[in-house]
Amino acid sequence: MLSKTLKTALAGLALTLALPMTQACAKDLIVATDTAFVPFEFKQDGKYTGFDIQLWEAIAKQAGLKYRLQPMDFNGIIPGLQTRNVDVALAGITIREDRAKVIDFSEPYYESGLAILVSSDSPIQTAKDLEGKMVAVKIGTATVDYMKANVPSAKLKLFPNIDNAFLELATGRVDAVVHDTPNVQYYAKTAGHGKVKVVGSLKSGDFYGIAFPKGSELVPVVNKALAELKTNGTYDKLYETWFGKKADAVN
């Protein structure tokens, strides 16, 4: 769940939706993305695609924004925003109060959580079973904080991208991978089919947001476009393309 403080901050940004286009919106924007985060962003047949990529394409079209994608490791995205080398970032970035102190977020566009991935013959079923185990996680993500706070005895093995974590599990060098639920489920249904299984949900109520440098004039522009896409049905169509029928909209 988003805290009251974070909701208030996001609401404050939303009040500026009527602002006109600025010079920041008129230039070619640098949009950072972590292209090893299937099904949100990845490279297929030489082109970048995924839910985040197609959602941003729709937002940019709706708002009349020009941009170029800048693939980078997740761990470098927030520093890139802080130094303003990056104008926008979409990479399954969880909205958190500590991050909101140094960067700005759009309104939420996806509700996520964390799940456990293990080999198909593993006895692990719950977070308690991860105690003392070797667990692969992605550097700089909410997963690291969650595991340190809730399963402190787990031995965390950190990776710059989640594909390497999945490889460690496949080769038996870790006991489990803990990561964002949609990414874990997608891997289990595709490349990991028959070799791995999703055994438990650790946490829900996390929300992804589009990220910007602190004080960016793009926030109200993107929020307005995102709201319009939710109203005109474009958001729902994209969601169903990548995840199936949506039970509840993210508001």
pLDDT value for 112: 86
| Residue 96 DSSP label | -
- Give the pLDDT band of residue 11 (cuts 50, 70, 90): low
Lowest pLDDT segment from 43-47, 58-62, 203-207, 208-212: 203-207
Question: What is the per-residue pLDDT for 83?
Answer: 98
Integer Cα distance of 62 and 82 in angstroms: 26
Alpha helix locations (H) across 95-136?
A: 97-100
- The pLDDT tens digits of the residues spanning 21-73 come to 455 565 799 999 999 888 999 999 999 999 999 999 999 999 999 999 999 99
Q: Which is more confident, 19 or 226? A: 226
Q: Where in the chain is the domain with CATH 3.40.190.10?
A: 4-109+209-243, 112-205
Residue 2 pLDDT greater than 50, yes or no? yes
pLDDT band at residue 17 using 50, 70 and 90 as cut-offs = very low
Query: Any idea which fold 4-109+209-243 has?
Result: D-Maltodextrin-Binding Protein; domain 2 (3.40.190)
Q: What's the pLDDT at 18?
A: 42
203 and 128 Cβ atoms separated by less than 8 Å: no
Please give the pLDDT value at position 201.
74
Note the pLDDT of residue 24: 56
For 120-176, the pLDDT digits (tens) are 999 999 999 999 999 999 998 889 999 999 999 999 999 998 999 999 999 999 999
Tell me the average pLDDT across 195-201: 89
C-beta of residue 223 within 8 angstroms of C-beta of residue 13: yes
CA distance 93 to 107: 12
Is residue 194 within a helix (H) or strand (E), and if so which, with residue range? none
More confident residue, 115 or 26: 115
pLDDT one-digit tens code per residue, 219-247 = 999 999 999 999 999 999 999 999 876 54
Q: Tell me, which fold does domain 112-205 have in CATH?
A: D-Maltodextrin-Binding Protein; domain 2 (3.40.190)
Per-residue confidence at 202, pLDDT binned at 50, 70, 90? confident
Q: Which parts of the chain are beta strand (E)?
A: 28-33, 36-37, 41-44, 47-49, 66-71, 88-89, 103-105, 110-119, 134-138, 155-159, 176-180, 196-208, 211-213
Residue 78: is its pLDDT beyond 90?
yes
pLDDT at 243: 85
Q: pTM for this structure?
A: 0.75
